[in-house]
Structure 1
């Protein structure tokens, strides 16, 4: 049974801070989903970029263009009928606005991936491949829009349990979706101050 309601592919959009467990959930999701899915992560796009030294302004511009290209690649894959698991960090308001404008909102399942800050900080330290404090800088903005189709907490559930929760949710996902609500009410995707 296909989980998509239109001719485009379904986008399972995992949003959470760095080290919240999004990639681990995606890894567990791919083999248990009924249809074929691609895992698309912005980290993979960053890894494709030539390694150069940038000034702060150049780096800001390069990063924004990378995110914009990533969003359009996801939209293109979905428009081609491919199902996608997106691993994302909505740590800047424009990122959500861009995705809401680009993706078919009825074909997006927005998943909030939560984890308490002390656990995030411990994971960052154990990983050693993220700047210390990255999750702390992201946590307030990442979930500021406050609207999800389904949420999970990786401090209380394993990635495999979160993946099963998401899989079990797909056949009964409501209408309108979180993305449909965000598109209909643009003020809802603005952070509260």
Structure 2
């Protein structure tokens, strides 16, 4: 059974920064998984697809299965994701059942999201605001954090929670 730290929040909310800090502070190794890693490595570029909207479901189906495959093989994971498509949460509930999952929601003020999005320059402007408008709707988290707080402080709080046995995650409810 793997431990999965599932970081969820709008684009530019601090998921990648927090994931890196979690890996730095943790005494045990975590594999960090994000679609940004595929993009940043050059392994995937949605612009290469003549019809990205029709190719998108297969890509994310593969990503979700890869996450499950790494967990099923016994790798502890930090997953950065935005559950922005109907059915993804339910699919992942099935794929990740049986693992210790800690569901973490990240928030940040809209002005911060917009500023970070401009600085990053790797997303369409407005995507963070669009995500922020609905991405947390209907979800209950094991822990909710402010993405403007220190990543070191947030990571330490998460790792303290892992010192005790995890209860059934809100992810699965």
Q: TM-score, normalised by structure 1?
A: 0.81
1:80 aligns with 2:103: no
Contact 1:93/1:141 (8 A) holds in 2: no
TM-score (norm 2): 0.90
CA contact under 8 A between 1:106 and 1:179: conserved in structure 2? no
Q: Contact 1:106–1:180 (CA<8 Å) still a contact in 2? A: no
1:59 equivalenced with 2:52 (yes/no): yes
Higher normalized contact order (CA 8 Å, seq sep 6+, divided by chain length): 2
Mapped partners of 2:35, 2:46: distance in 1: 16
- Gaps in structure 2 of 5+ consecutive residues: none
1:177 is aligned, of 141, 157, 169, to: 169
Question: In the TM superposition, what whole-angstrom CA distance separates every residue of 1:139-180 from its partner, at most 9, and x where no partner exists?
Answer: 13311122001111012x111211111111112365231123
1:3-152 matches, cutoff 5 A: 8-46=1-39, 47-49=42-44, 53-55=48-50, 58-104=51-97, 106-152=99-145
Higher helix content, 1 or 2: 1
Q: Quote the Cα distance in structure 1 between the aligned partners of 2:74 and 2:96.
A: 12
Q: Which moved more, 1:33-42 or 1:17-26?
A: 33-42
Contact 1:19 1:124 in 2 (8 A): yes
Report the secondary structure of 2:163's partner residue. Answer: helix
RMSD of aligned Cα (Å) = 1.8
* CA apart distance, 1:11: 0.7
Do the aligned partners of 2:5 and 2:77 also contact (CA within 8 Å) in 1? yes
- Distance, in Å, in 2 between the alignment partners of 1:159 and 1:59 is 33
1:160 maps to 2:155: no
Rounded Cα–Cα distance in structure 1 between residues aligned with 2:167 and 2:159? 17
Shift of 1:93: 2.5
